[in-house]
Chains A and B, each alone.
Chain A
Amino acid sequence: MSLYDGRAQRHANLHELSIAQSIVDTVLSEVQEKGAKRVTEISVDVGQLMQLDRKALAFALRLLMTGPALKGARVHVHVSKASFSCRKCGSAWGMAEVQKQLAEVPDTLRVREPDSKELPLHFLPFLYPAFIRCPRCGSSDIFSKEGEEIQFRRVVME
């Protein structure tokens, strides 16, 4: 089934579809490299900072896993919570504390998808220092400890 056919588009945003395609391509290339016959489980951690739709990503993955190597494999999509720290005052916080800051990202910087406007972090999560400051002291010298990217948690092949 094509990635971008109508059924897929009704259930997932474009970016979730594109990420699902990258995950499938990466797994298939690993299958080939390791000479495996099939994959029985794909489990990924999705960084909360990307604000991806977990269910949409899982749906898109299942839709794309059609070939003999991937068909029927279990799919798990977990959200890894984002957490940040301030180098200046030492405080730590999560996504809930930065929602107000993210809501203030100018409309002109939001990426236009066909039916929505998305934060740049949806596509480029590592750009977070441009949009997030320490909620306590206001410093921009912050870092994220986790929850900013997509990673494989587990891929089971046989």
Chain B
Amino acid sequence: MTRSNEGNPISTGAAKEKLERIANVILVGSGKGGVGKSTVASGLALSLSHEGQRTALLDIDIHGASVPEYLDVAPPVRSSEKGLEPKMKDDLKVMSLGLFTGSLPVPMRGGGKQELITQLFALTNWGELDCLVVDLPPSMGDELLSALSLFSGKATLVLVTTPSPGAVSVVSRLRRLAETEKVPVHGIVVNMAYVLAGKTKTFPFGRPDRKLLEAKFKSTVIAEIPLEPLVSTRGLDALLKESNDFSRAFRKLAECIGH
């Protein structure tokens, strides 16, 4: 029972056991930074939870964990006889590597990343879940590949892009990787699709061309989420509980993912 390509048998065994109690794993990724993956992952997880689904959000961004900031959860983490206890945001369970490192930098090369992610997942007390949303970090390095391997067979991918041609080009590479790794793609989320000023829509990254995107990604556009500057002052959770374009877009996304 030595370490294999799949990792340490003790932690991978524990992870498999945890995964048995989770119905669906939604990986939210783009392969690129700056498109709003963490906002989309957090908003989706909150919306699924508001719908009554037993939901958790796992942030595996080792170097730039931002979910604790978005959801206003902070260290310390507590440990019980059932493992590391996730932080609660209303009914949503939240776990992030940022809850162990706070504002410290994590300057880490390859090597232990797969084991770190496996241990965090395996040690957390998730309980029974309808849906685990995983916020993937940028790039197609260790973290992404570790998540694909860890959640293999149970995961579907939600691709996040902005309408910008540069973003679309990079994100389409992740689409191709999903094909080779046989990870089903749930659909495309166009984030920062427009800004609403009164009743007027403006398109800071260009007008999203749904047909073009669907042809390029060989998948369906499942949500167009507006850029909402109030997120930084009012908070994601508060905005999603109100009736506005932003919350309606996330509700629609959650309905599409959850059913």
Contacts and interface: CB of A to CB of B under 8 A. Distances in A.
7 contacts: A14-B79, A106-B102, A111-B100, A123-B79, A129-B106, A129-B108, A140-B105
A29 B16 CA distance: 12
B234 interface: no
B58 to A, nearest CB: 14
Contacts of B105: 130, 140
Given A23-B10, A127-B101, A140-B105, A111 B115 contact: no
B75 A26 contact: no
Nearest to B74: A108
Contact of B10 (A107, A109, A117, A150): A150
A26 B13 contact: yes
A114 B247 CA distance: 39
Interface stretch (A68-76, A78-86, A92-100, A141-149): A141-149
A124 to B, nearest CB: 6
A121 B249 CA distance: 40
B78 interface: yes
Interface stretch (B116-124, B181-189, B214-222): B116-124
B83 A109 contact: no
Contacts of B84: 111, 123
B81 A14 contact: yes
Nearest to B16: A29
A91 interface: no
Across chains A and B, which 9 residue pairs bring their CB atoms closest together, nearest first? Answer: A126-B112, A120-B100, A126-B116, A26-B13, A22-B14, A4-B81, A152-B1, A140-B107, A112-B78
B115 A123 contact: no
A14 B109 CA distance: 30
Nearest to A30: B1
Interface string B1-30: 111000011110110010000000000000
B76 interface: yes
A158 interface: no
Given A109-B75, A111-B77, 19 more contacts: A14-B80, A14-B81, A22-B122, A25-B13, A25-B14, A26-B1, A26-B13, A109-B101, A112-B78, A118-B79, A120-B101, A123-B119, A123-B123, A124-B123, A126-B108, A127-B100, A127-B116, A130-B106, A149-B8
B116 A112 contact: no
A72 B76 CA distance: 40
Contacts of B9: 26, 30, 152
B116 A111 contact: no
A18 B13 contact: no
Contacts of B77: 111-112
Interface of B: 1-3, 8-11, 13-14, 17, 74-81, 83-84, 97, 100-102, 104-109, 111-113, 115-116, 119-120, 122-123
A19 to B, nearest CB: 8
Given A26-B1, A111-B78, A112-B78, A124 B106 contact: no
Nearest to B111: A143
B11 A22 contact: yes
- Residue among A4, A15, A114, A129 with the highest chain B CB neighbour number at 10 A: A129
A109 B102 contact: yes
Nearest to A8: B81
Contacts of B113: 126
Contacts of A15: 79
B10 A22 contact: yes
A155 B10 CA distance: 13
A76 to B, nearest CB: 15
Nearest to A105: B104
A152 B84 CA distance: 24
